[in-house]
């Protein structure tokens, strides 16, 4: 880098960091840094919403402070005619603070059903592929505390168990691959991220899907706002979720023990062999153990629905068990042993 470019970069960095002189932004950055604690190269998913733009800014400050390389990606789903223009606009906005962003396009046929779920899966897939090609182990997403509460209520409405209710974590693995999904904004509120976007960019994209009542998440978001007006204490809701997480950790201990003692994984054939004692546990331990195995073998980012796992357990416990498939897996029982393999791999 020549002296002219170096001088321009230093000026840009100074302008970026100047926003940290504001007490509120400085406080938010400290919380963000404390939550992140990663000193390796990172990738950031940017949508153009207030939360993701705030994430982009905070990560830029973090990268300057710790001299890290950060890659920024925008996924253009092409589900709306204006999406490509929005992606280019966001790219230009970020460029003003020295953030070079790459647009990842979702080409091909678009779904007519389960649009949000399919788009989410495709977004993760595009981002994960890009991270893999660039040898990036950490991908940052802009989920915040409001998303945490929304997710809790959505799972509650679905009748999810304990694991499902508190499944929104700061750090999760993507399909058991060498990619960590990080959510460093999970302790921050939406209003804080709006504040940063307005002060730093004076801009953010308003996604029309966020007000479309055809989507369950939108209806849950509206319900949460009404409950707050009726006196719902968000701090107590967060305390409840944290207490549930503590109980969940105790269950995970026994799930890990069950997987280690009562199952064998044949890596070369990608097959799990479950012995009789695997099913001689409390129902929750069996349920979670099976969920983890099927998610791993089937290579799914999200676990299969609890209802399907319940039906599988009932079937395995019957005297006559019929070979079945679930979550991309082929499941068979030989005497008191259960075999789980990839659905496409049946000859073992």
Phi, psi of 205 (to 5 degrees): -85, 135
Domain-located, residue 240: no
For residue 347, is it within any domain? Answer: no
**CATH code at 125?**
3.40.50.620
**24 and 58 belong to one structural domain:** yes
Q: What is the mean pLDDT of residues 77-106?
A: 91
Using the predicted structure, report yes or no on whether residue 97 has a pLDDT greater than 80.
yes
What average pLDDT does the segment 174-192 reach?
A: 88
For residue 237, being part of any structural domain is answered with no
By C-alpha distance, which of 95, 85, 294, 314 is closest to 176?
Answer: 294
Residues 131, 274, single domain; the answer is: no
pLDDT in tens, 202-242: 988 876 666 566 677 788 888 888 888 888 888 888 888 88
pLDDT band at 22 (very low <50, low <70, confident <90, very high): very high
Residues 23 and 145 in one domain: yes
Note the Cα 33 to chain centre separation in Å: 19
pLDDT at site 120: 86
Please determine, for residue 154, whether its predicted confidence score (pLDDT) is greater than 90.
no
- DSSP 3-state assignment of 30? helix
Is the domain of 256 the same as that of 192?
no
Q: Identify the residue whose tokens are 């190269």.
A: 41
Identify whether 106 is part of a domain: yes
Let me know whether 258 and 218 are in one domain: no
Query: Each residue of 315-332: pLDDT tens digit?
Result: 998 888 888 999 999 999
Query: Both 220 and 306 in a single domain?
Result: no
Cα-based distances in Å from 254 to 67, 121, 161, 266: 41, 30, 16, 22
265 in the same domain as 150: no
* pLDDT at res. 159: 79
Q: What's the Cα-to-Cα distance from 96 to each of 5, 90, 153, rounded to whole Å?
A: 15, 10, 38
Give CA angle at 59 (53, 60), nearest 5°. 90
DSSP-assigned states of every residue in 48-76: SSHHHHHHHHHHHHHHHHHT--EEEEEEE
- If asked whether residues 198 and 61 sit together in one domain, one would say yes
DSSP characters over 223-284: HHHHHHHTT--HHHHHHHHHHHHHHHHHHHHHHHHHHHHHEEEETTTTEEEE-GGGGSS-HH
In the predicted model, what is the mean pLDDT of residues 164-192? Answer: 86
Q: What pLDDT band is residue 348 in, cutting at 50, 70 and 90?
A: very low
Question: How sure is the predictor about 114, in pLDDT bands with cuts at 50, 70 and 90?
Answer: confident
DSSP SS3 for 305: coil
Mean of pLDDT over the chain: 88
Strands 329-334 and 337-342: antiparallel
By DSSP bridging, strand 70-76 and strand 101-105 are parallel
Residues 216 and 255 grouped into a single domain:
no
Q: Are residues 162 and 78 in the same domain?
A: yes
Element (H, E) at 286: helix 283-298
For position 212, what pLDDT does the model report?
A: 62
Structural domain count, the chain: 2
Higher pLDDT, 120 or 346: 120
Domain boundary among 197, 232, 267: 232
Let me know whether 219 and 267 are in one domain. Answer: no
How much is the pTM? 0.77
Structural domain ending residue among the three candidates 199, 232, 265: 232
In the prediction, which pLDDT does 233 show?
82
Which residues contact residue 318 at a Cβ distance below 8 angstroms, ignoring those fewer than 6 apart?
none
Q: Tens of pLDDT along 255-293?
A: 999 999 999 999 989 999 999 999 999 999 999 999 999
Burial of 50: CB neighbours in 10 Å, binned 0-12, 13-18, 19+: buried
Task: Outline where DSSP puts E strands in 50-194.
Answer: 70-76, 101-105, 138-140, 171-173, 180-182
Given 205, 232, 259, which residue is the final one in a domain? 232
Range of the domain at 33: 3-232
Judged by phi (left if over 0) then psi (alpha if -120 to 50, else beta), residue 144 lies in beta
Helix-helix angle 145-158:216-229, to 10 degrees: 110
């Amino acid at each position: 880098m020549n002296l002219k470019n170096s001088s321009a970069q230093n000026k840009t960095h100074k302008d970026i960091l100047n926003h940290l002189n504001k007490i509120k932004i400085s406080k938010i950055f400290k919380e963000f840094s404390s939550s992140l604690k990663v000193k390796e190269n990172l990738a950031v998913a940017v949508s153009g919403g207030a939360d993701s733009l705030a994430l982009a800014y905070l990560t830029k400050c973090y990268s300057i402070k710790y001299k890290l390389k950060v890659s920024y990606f925008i996924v253009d789903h092409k589900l709306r005619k204006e999406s490509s223009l929005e992606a280019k606009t966001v790219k230009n906005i970020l460029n003003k603070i020295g953030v070079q962003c790459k647009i990842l396009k979702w080409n091909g046929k678009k779904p007519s059903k389960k649009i949000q779920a399919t788009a989410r899966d495709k977004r993760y897939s595009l981002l994960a592929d890009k991270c893999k090609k660039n040898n990036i182990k950490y991908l940052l997403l802009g989920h915040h505390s409001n998303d945490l509460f929304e997710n809790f209520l959505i799972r509650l409405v679905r009748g999810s168990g304990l694991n499902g209710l508190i499944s929104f974590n700061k750090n999760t693995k993507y399909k058991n691959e060498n990619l960590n999904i990080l959510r460093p904004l999970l302790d921050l509120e939406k209003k804080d991220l709006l504040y940063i976007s307005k002060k730093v960019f004076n801009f953010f994209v308003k996604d029309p899907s966020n007000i479309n009542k055809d989507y369950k998440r939108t209806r849950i978001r509206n319900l949460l706002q009404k409950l707050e007006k009726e006196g719902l204490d968000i701090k107590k809701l967060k305390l409840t979720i944290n207490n549930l997480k503590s109980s969940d950790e105790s269950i995970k201990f026994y799930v890990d023990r069950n997987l280690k003692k009562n199952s064998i994984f044949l890596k070369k054939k990608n097959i799990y062999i479950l012995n009789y004692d695997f099913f001689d546990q409390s129902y929750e331990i069996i349920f979670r153990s099976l969920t983890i195995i099927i998610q791993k073998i089937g290579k799914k980012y999200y676990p299969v629905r609890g209802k399907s796992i319940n039906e599988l357990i009932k079937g395995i416990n019957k005297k006559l068990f019929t070979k079945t498939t679930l979550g991309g897996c082929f499941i068979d029982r030989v005497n008191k042993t259960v075999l789980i393999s990839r659905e496409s791999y049946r000859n073992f």
